[in-house]
Amino acid sequence: MQPLTISIIQTNLHWENKTANLVMFEQKIKAIEEPTEIVVLPEMFSTGFSMNNVLLGEAMNGETVTWMKRVAAENKIILTGSVIIKENEHFYNRLIWMLPNGEYGVYDKRHLFGFGNETEHYSPGNKRLIASVKGWKINLQICYDLRFPIWARQNPTDKSEAEYDVLIYVANWPERRSHAWKTLLCARAIENQSYVVGVNRVGDDGNNIYHSGNSMMVDPAGAVLYHKADDEDIFTITLEKETLMEIRNKFPFLKDGDNFYINN
């Protein structure tokens, strides 16, 4: 497990305007000065958190995924964020994990935000995606998933080894519930002894709901390594395996965890 460098982009979004968002994100990615390996974008980064799925949904060979493939290749990065995908007459809030060689993994948001009518427009996923990079295992989730700890809980078959080392949430989480966002990101880090990365947008969306960002990076003991409220920002950090292993070895709490099964 070598050091792992991650960049996050906290930004306002152009409401339901794919072209403007893709141009904006490409400029921001090119502006990252430090060498980086993973770039994380917010939830529904090309449209904003829209329920206009029929108009905005696209196939896996559509505009946004094609853009991700090109940008990941040109910048030699792993690029991730969620987009509106139509597949087999269903719509998904789908996180894409795009590798620079054009291969990708996907995660469909499991916990749809019924309070915001997401359940009326999208179908839920039922499988987690845990990616592997340089010996690091990375669990990828979306926004409202954060409120459901069992979906993120470490449950390795071999208690001497964790299921994952980094937990990433991409989000459009409104400012009015920012206390929950910040608290739960720290809680997920502590209970899973994992780095946690939460990437949120800023600004008003098309429904006049304000988002304060509050993107965060938290270490496996719950210490906040980065936090930014209200302003647009690009931040890069290198995660060290020594910190992760020191915490897990000194406090071997994961081995005492409950075994459980999630019924889909």
Residues with a catalytic annotation lie at 43, 109, 143
Task: Give Cβ neighbours of residue 60 (< 8 Å, ≥ 6 apart).
Answer: 85, 87
CA atoms within 13 A on the CB side of 85: 24
CA nearest to 64, candidates 86, 46, 79, 38: 46
Contact 11, 231 (CB under 8 A): no
Site of tokens 């969306």: 205
Q: What token pair was written down for 98?
A: 């795009």
Q: What backbone torsions phi and psi does residue 52 show, to the nearest 5 degrees?
A: -85, 60
CA angle 82/84/88 to nearest 5° reads 125
Contact 49, 116 (CB under 8 A): yes
